[in-house]
Amino acid sequence: MTDLTPVTFTATDLDALAGHEGRVAVIVTPEGKLEQSARRVNRLTKGAIQRFVDSAAFEKVKAGQVTTFDWPVGLAAESLDVICLARNHSVEDARKAGAALGKLRGGKAALLAADGARRVAEIVFGLVMRDYDFSAHKTDAEAKDTGVSIMCSKPEDAEAAAGPLMAIADGAFMTRDLVNEPANVLTTTEFANRLADMKDLGLEVEVLEEADLKRLGMRTLLSVGQGSDSPSKVVVMQWKGGGKDDAPLALVGKGVVFDTGGISLKPAAGMEDMTMDMGGAGVVAGTMRALAKRKAKANVVGLVGLVENMPSGNATRPGDVVTSMKGDTVEIINTDAEGRLVLCDVMWYAQERFEPAGMIDLATLTGAIIIGLGHENAGVFSNNDDFCNTFLKAADKEQEGAWRMPLGKAYDDLLKSRIADMKNIGGRPAGSVTAAQFLQRFVKPETPWIHLDIAGVASVKSATALAPAGATGWGVMALSRLVADGYETE
Ligand code: BES
Ligand code: MN
Ligand code: ZN
């Protein structure tokens, strides 16, 4: 597991500031006001920062931007990073400034001299999130033991404010590691083992094996995994931080550790990207980790369906009809539309067992959502406006793109099958919507439900605001925020 950048909080100490080797960062406002710690560093550097903010160059500097001075006079540091941040900055600006520092740091020890517990915490969060680096399979990776020191007036307050944010970063790192991991390493068994390890954090974790799934009647889920040598599993993670009788929020994730398409085989080009097809399960795992780490005062249950979609002599064929746990029969027209077959059984199980107050499923479900929304927004589908709006607000606060999409009977009609209760595909038009309609057939009318199609946002080819290229961890921040704002009670 990729470790969080070690961060230490200490009281301001001029000698330590002057003697720090590596990088030193300070904050000034867009109006050119120096924070107290910036004034100290200004004096040490014989007025370098003041000359900078008085210069014409500073007029072009925007909030959230970082300007670097190499080998500053008066400091042992190899560079001085001046962060421009307004006094009433947004959370987003502070995180972005931190991310810029994280990117600049390049594994070298950095020291941030700053004031204000809240803003320091948000900067540190941005820094740590952007500092993520998946080097598990790089044999020449340098040990990154150099951390970040934060020098501020009230180090205890800053550390306390950073605590819950570090829990979220820790969860997001887990999601990213799972999503980045190749499928020969992250088998269904390895995935389940990593989840079981979270028992140490106070989560209750159960692993349901194929025999259990058969007994429960999860035949659509099993039909996806039956062509693979890796056994299908469902893992249930419970966090009981809320009231004894409070119905939980249920998070359900698609965990296809590799999606070849099955007998409806995918083309070779780009198939390697299907290592990320367990992204929904990855977000559920990371969110449960974050909630446990920050000891959220809410009841949340995470369920993931772990399978591998492979062609073989034992694989499901196009045309096969299978019976779901709910009892509805599905004609499998295309074995590559497998995510919905996994989710429908786990969602049904989640409702039967937990009677959740709300249910959110996450899945890298359709290529069509990438055509519709690109890599900027996840597709959001819901049967409940209030629940949906609460989530959209949480996602917006955390700057994780999310855009609501429609549902409706006309789309549902596209799933009609001649010989079974439904087909598993609705055709090319509105492919993401018909996938969501399929799922909705397994949502009880009384369950407030949100489906998040994260195929476009789970893993991306270039860096985002808070993540390097690859797995983003999209959703961990928004879901943790949703729990904090909507479910946690004092
Ligand atoms: N895992 C894919 C969706 C996907 C595509 C995720 C690209 C991430 C990037 C899913 O199982 C799939 O294959 N969907 C098909 C559905 C079709 C057969 C109806 C698709 O999108 O083409
Ligand atoms: Mn598929
Ligand atoms: Zn898939």
Residue owning tokens 């074995």: 335
Q: Is 100 in the pocket of ligand 1 (CB under 6 A)?
A: no
Q: Is 338 in the pocket of ligand 1 (CB under 6 A)?
A: yes
Query: For residue 143, what are the CA distances in angstroms to 3, 138, 147, 423?
Result: 11, 11, 11, 51
Give the model's confidence band at 106: pLDDT under 50 very low, under 70 low, under 90 confident, else very high: confident
Given 40, 340, 441, 481, the catalytic residue? 340
The confidence score (pLDDT) of residue 490 equals: 66
CA 144 to ligand 1 centroid distance, Å: 37
**SS3 assignment for 352-390:** HHHCCCEEEEEECCCCHHHHHHCCCCEEEEECCHHHHHH
The confidence score (pLDDT) of residue 327 equals: 98
Pair 468, 132: CB distance under 8 Å? yes
Q: Is 445 exposed, middle or buried (0-12, 13-18, 19+ CB in 10 A)?
A: exposed
Amino acid 247 reads: A
Statement: residue 298 has pLDDT above 80: yes
Q: Which atom of ligand 1 is nearest to the CA of 276?
A: 8
Pair 472, 383: CB distance under 8 Å? no
- Please give the Cα distance from 201 to 291 (Å, whole number): 10
CA 260 to ligand 2 centroid distance, Å: 7
- Tokens (6 digits) for 248: 């939980």
Q: Is 260 in the pocket of ligand 1 (CB under 6 A)?
A: no
- The pTM score is 0.97
Active site residue 96: no
Mean pLDDT taken over the chain:
96
Mean pLDDT, residues 160-169 taken together: 98
The confidence score (pLDDT) of residue 197 equals: 98
Question: What is the residue with the minimal CA distance to atom 5 of ligand 1?
Answer: 367
Statement: residue 411 has pLDDT above 90: yes
Q: Tell me which of 133-142, 263-272, 396-405 is least confident.
A: 133-142
Give the distance, in angstroms, between the CA of residue 481 and the centroid of all CA atoms in the same chain.
12
Angle between helices 188-196 and 155-180 (to 10 degrees): 160
CB atoms within 10 A of CB 56: 6
Active site residue 108: no
Mean pLDDT, residues 370-374 taken together: 98
- Please give the Cα distance from 118 to 160 (Å, whole number): 9
Provide the Cα torsion 416, 420, 424, 428; round to 10°.
-30
CA 260 to ligand 1 centroid distance, Å: 10
- Tokens (6 digits) for 227: 């062509």
CA 259 to ligand 1 centroid distance, Å: 9
- Please give the Cα distance from 423 to 138 (Å, whole number): 44
Residues with Cβ < 8 Å from 437, sequence gap 6 or more? 407, 411, 412, 414, 415, 426
Query: For residue 195, what are the CA distances in angstroms to 132, 274, 449?
Result: 20, 21, 24
Statement: residue 250 has pLDDT above 80: yes
Query: For residue 320, what are the CA distances in angstroms to 211, 310, 317, 341?
Result: 21, 16, 6, 13
Mean pLDDT, residues 240-250 taken together: 97
Pair 476, 395: CB distance under 8 Å? no
Statement: residue 69 has pLDDT above 80: yes
Amino acid 161 reads: A
- Tokens (6 digits) for 264: 């409806």
- Tokens (6 digits) for 288: 């449960």
Give the distance, in angstroms, between the CA of residue 42 and the centroid of all CA atoms in the same chain.
39
Q: Which of 330, 336, 457 should be mutated for ligand 1, with most atoms under 8 A from CB? A: 336
Q: Is 334 in the pocket of ligand 1 (CB under 6 A)?
A: yes
Question: What's the half-sphere exposure (Cβ side, CA atoms, 13 Å) at 472?
Answer: 26
Statement: residue 240 has pLDDT above 90: yes
Amino acid 168 reads: I
Statement: residue 141 has pLDDT above 80: no
In order of start, what are the domains of the chain with their CATH numbers? 7-155 (3.40.220.10), 169-486 (3.40.630.10)
Q: Is 431 in the pocket of ligand 1 (CB under 6 A)?
A: yes
CA 338 to ligand 3 centroid distance, Å: 6
